Each structure stands twice: as C-alpha cells, then as structure tokens.
C-alpha cells in the first residue's frame, strides 16, 4: 500500500518535538497537499511506537516546580527530574 512519505508515524500523544515519527498539523497539511484531489483522506500509516523499544523518548507531561525542578513524565513515570544550570547542563 502506498502511504504518505513511505513512513509509519506514531499515533501516541507526545511532547517530544524532535521525534521523526511525531504527527503534526504541518504534516497533515503536507499530506493533504500531496494527496490533492484524490478521493478520501490521504493515506497515512500510524502505529503506537511509544510502547515499543524503538521509541526514542516518549514523554507526555513536563512540569516545573517553584524551586526550578523540572519533571518530565511518561505515562506518570519520571523520565527526568532535575534543575537546569546556567550552562544548559543539569544538576
């Protein structure tokens, strides 16, 4: 089957903007333009990669505490907890 960009995109809701499988409104517009006047919606393949070992860093919640501590969570489990320093590193 032919699909947009010959790629399977991730169906998970995720905040990881650097993931190459993340589906965005911009990609939807590109798929619609690519499919142009064909009947029906553009064919796009989706799978939930967030539950797979191939996931490159799914996270769905980022919070900052009053003391500056940043918490990055995936399905309620912490992926990162720390405070950024001035040089961009973490404590």
Q: What is the pLDDT of residues 10-26, one digit of tens each?
A: 999 889 888 999 999 99
Q: Which is it for the CA torsion 20, 25, 29, 32, positive or negative?
A: positive
CA distances to 6, 49, 60, 71 from 57, in Å: 22, 10, 10, 14
Q: Quick count: other Cβ atoms within 10 Å of Cβ 12?
A: 22
Task: Compute the mean pLDDT over every residue in the chain, rounded to the nearest whole number.
Answer: 88
| In the chain, where the domains are located | 4-82
Tens of pLDDT, residue by residue over 31-54, are 999 999 899 999 999 999 888 777
The better pLDDT of the pair 48, 89 is held by 48
**What is residue 87's predicted lDDT score, i.e. its pLDDT?**
61
Residue 90: pLDDT band (50, 70, 90) is low
At residue 91, the pLDDT reads 55
């Amino acid at each position: 089957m032919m699909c947009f960009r010959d790629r399977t995109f991730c169906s998970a809701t995720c905040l990881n903007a650097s993931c190459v499988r993340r589906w965005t409104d911009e990609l939807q517009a590109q798929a619609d333009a690519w499919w142009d006047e064909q009947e029906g919606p553009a064919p796009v393949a989706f799978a939930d990669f967030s539950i797979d070992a191939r996931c490159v860093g799914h996270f769905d919640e980022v919070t900052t505490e009053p003391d500056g501590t940043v918490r990055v969570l995936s399905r309620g489990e912490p992926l990162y907890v720390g405070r950024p320093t001035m040089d961009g590193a973490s404590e």
